[in-house]
Every structure is written in structure tokens, then in C-alpha cells.
């Protein structure tokens, strides 16, 4: 699952005969948040890399990206929900767990949203209301609530997945671990053949099917993958396709 923090977005606006390059200035300290059950709270650092102040609105959702901040029902509260961040300054978000009854035998997943709202352009700064396009940028990263004493260790979860043929050109991935496992890339390889299956996220104790665009009935295939670790880095590995 691609979880790269996209800092800049090329926005080509074909209106009134002009185009503009839009770049987000607000940067998060990571591409995912891990909330250990033995912690009362965790923090996330926001940094304004731009040259102008901005507003940051933050909230957590349970998996619906279209849910409005005032309507979400999650076992966390976040402070501050709205903050002004001056140029080249930072703001710390504090996430507190409300102690509901989340499963103790597996991870639970939520999503942290941060909406960057740029300050309104002022006259005299080289732009006017007629030729300035202001965009709000939203960053959405995974928030994992992790109970204590889960086994195996998180960095061993990807290698524990069992890969098998599921008929036709389908691949079955069985995750026997209590962790969410995110893959930025999954490839099938047999000799010189290489088939890209794309990205994927496996829920704890679940089975997921991936579709191959190429026949995999013949040959000895292996699975090459890149899984995303707790720090947002990529761990490469190989498994046998049964």
C-alpha cells in the first residue's frame, strides 16, 4: 500500500488561460502512527516548511475518508484540532486514547487526517485575487492501535504470510499474525518472468486475494515483496508460492 507523504502536487488549471504549480508546505514527522496500548498518548510533529503562516485542521477517522470531522466516532481525542503554524515553525499534535474496548489480540486501524489551509494572499505580495489560486492540501496516514504482548514481533509479520495459488490467475495471501501488513509492492517471479501485483494491505488473521494479469499455472513462482515497517521504511523479502 503506497503510503508516501506527497509534499508537492502539480495542479494544472486550464481556466482563464493560466496554469499554476501548487506545493504543500505542511510536513508530518512520519508516514504512519503507532499507538502502543501501554502509552497514555502519542505525539505527531507538524512542520510548516513554507514562507507563510497557515492553518492546520486535524482529526481521526475510522476508515471513511469522506467522513466529516464533526461526525466521526473514534476512541481517541486529538489536540489541538485547529492550529496556526507560522512559517518555518512547528506544532505538536497530541493523540490520547479514550480507553474503549478495542480487541486485545490484534491491531486496530484508524486514520489521522491533517488539512493544510493556506493564508489568504494579501495585496502587495506580488499576487492579486484575480490570478492567485489557493488550494487546501489534505494528508491522511494510518494510525495503528497496538495491544501489548502480540507475537511475533512486528518486523517478523511479513515473512509469516502464507502465499498460495487460488485458481485462475489469483493469488491468496493468508496473514496468520495479529498485525496489519502493508505492502508497497508485491511481485511474482519465475526465472526471467516478473509480474507486478501492485500494493496491498492484509488485515490481521485474514485472507486476501490478489489478481495476476498473467497466467501463473506453469512454473515455480516466488513472491518478492516490499513491506512497510513501523518507521515508514521498506523491508524487502521473498516467499515461496505454494
pLDDT tens-digit readout, 178-215? 999 999 999 999 988 889 999 999 999 999 999 988 87
| pLDDT level of residue 101 (50, 70, 90 thresholds) | confident
Q: What is the pLDDT of residues 80-98, one digit of tens each?
A: 999 999 999 999 999 999 9
Which of 58, 61, 98 is closest to 81 using CA atoms?
58
Whole-angstrom Cα Rg for the chain: 21
The mean predicted confidence, pLDDT, of the chain is 86
Whether the predicted pLDDT of 21 surpasses 50: no
pLDDT attached to residue 123: 59
Lowest mean pLDDT: which of 25-39, 86-100, 114-128, 161-175? Answer: 114-128
Which of 174, 186, 181 is closest to 229 using CA atoms?
181
**Euclidean distance between CA atoms 41 and 27, whole angstroms:** 21
pLDDT attached to residue 5: 35
Whether the predicted pLDDT of 231 surpasses 80: yes
| pLDDT level of residue 1 (50, 70, 90 thresholds) | very low
Whether the predicted pLDDT of 8 surpasses 90: no
pLDDT attached to residue 23: 62
pLDDT attached to residue 119: 76
- Averaged pLDDT, 109-127: 79
**Euclidean distance between CA atoms 133 and 13, whole angstroms:** 9
Q: What is the pLDDT of residues 124-143, one digit of tens each?
A: 555 555 555 567 889 999 99
CB neighbour class for 68 (10 Å; exposed up to 12, middle 13-18, buried from 19)? exposed
pLDDT attached to residue 133: 58
Whether the predicted pLDDT of 13 surpasses 90: no
For strand 108-118 and strand 137-146, is the pairing parallel, antiparallel, or unpaired?
antiparallel
User: Three cell numbers at 4?
Assistant: 508516501
User: Three cell numbers at 177?
Assistant: 499474525
- Give 1 or 28, the one with higher predicted confidence: 28
Which of 164, 147, 233, 157 is closest to 201 using CA atoms?
157
Give all domains of the chain, ordered by start, each with its CATH number: 8-146 (2.60.40.10), 154-240 (2.60.40.10)
Interacting residues of 94 by C-beta distance below 8 A, sequence separation 6+? 41, 42, 43, 78, 79
Q: Percent of the chain at pLDDT above 70?
A: 85
pLDDT attached to residue 169: 86
Give the chain's length.
242
* Contact predicate 29/43, CB 8 Å: no
Listed in sequence order, the DSSP H helices in the chain are 157-160
Q: What is the pLDDT of residues 60-74, one digit of tens each?
A: 999 999 999 999 999
Dihedral angle sign, alpha carbons of residues 76, 81, 87, 90 = negative
Amino acid at each position: 500500500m503506497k503510503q508516501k507523504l506527497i509534499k508537492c502536487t502539480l495542479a494544472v488549471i486550464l481556466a482563464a488561460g493560466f496554469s499554476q504549480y501548487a506545493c504543500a508546505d505542511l510536513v508530518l514527522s512520519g508516514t504512519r502512527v503507532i499507538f502502543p496500548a501501554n502509552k497514555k498518548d502519542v505525539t505527531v510533529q507538524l512542520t510548516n516548511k513554507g514562507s507563510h503562516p497557515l492553518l492546520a485542521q486535524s482529526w481521526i477517522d475510522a476508515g471513511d475518508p469522506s467522513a466529516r470531522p464533526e461526525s466521526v466516532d473514534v476512541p481517541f481525542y486529538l489536540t489541538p484540532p485547529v492550529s496556526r503554524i507560522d512559517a518555518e515553525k512547528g506544532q505538536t499534535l497530541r493523540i490520547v486514547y479514550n480507553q474503549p474496548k478495542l480487541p486485545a489480540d490484534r491491531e486496530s486501524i484508524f486514520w489521522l487526517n491533517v488539512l493544510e489551509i493556506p493564508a489568504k494572499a494579501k495585496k502587495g505580495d506580488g499576487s492579486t485575487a484575480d490570478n492567485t489560486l489557493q488550494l487546501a492540501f489534505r494528508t491522511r496516514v494510518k494510525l495503528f492501535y497496538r495491544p501489548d504482548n502480540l507475537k511475533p514481533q512486528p518486523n517478523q509479520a511479513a515473512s509469516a504470510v502464507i502465499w498460495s495459488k487460488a485458481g485462475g490467475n489469483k493469488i491468496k495471501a493468508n496473514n496468520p499474525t495479529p498485525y496489519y501488513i502493508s505492502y508497497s509492492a508485491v511481485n511474482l517471479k519465475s526465472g526471467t518472468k516478473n509480474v507486478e501485483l501492485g500494493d496491498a494491505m492484509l488485515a490481521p488473521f485474514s485472507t486476501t486475494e490478489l489478481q495476476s494479469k498473467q497466467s501463473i499455472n506453469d512454473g515455480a513462482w516466488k513472491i518478492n515483496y516490499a513491506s512497510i515497517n513501523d518507521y515508514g521504511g521498506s523491508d524487502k523479502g521473498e516467499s515461496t508460492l505454494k
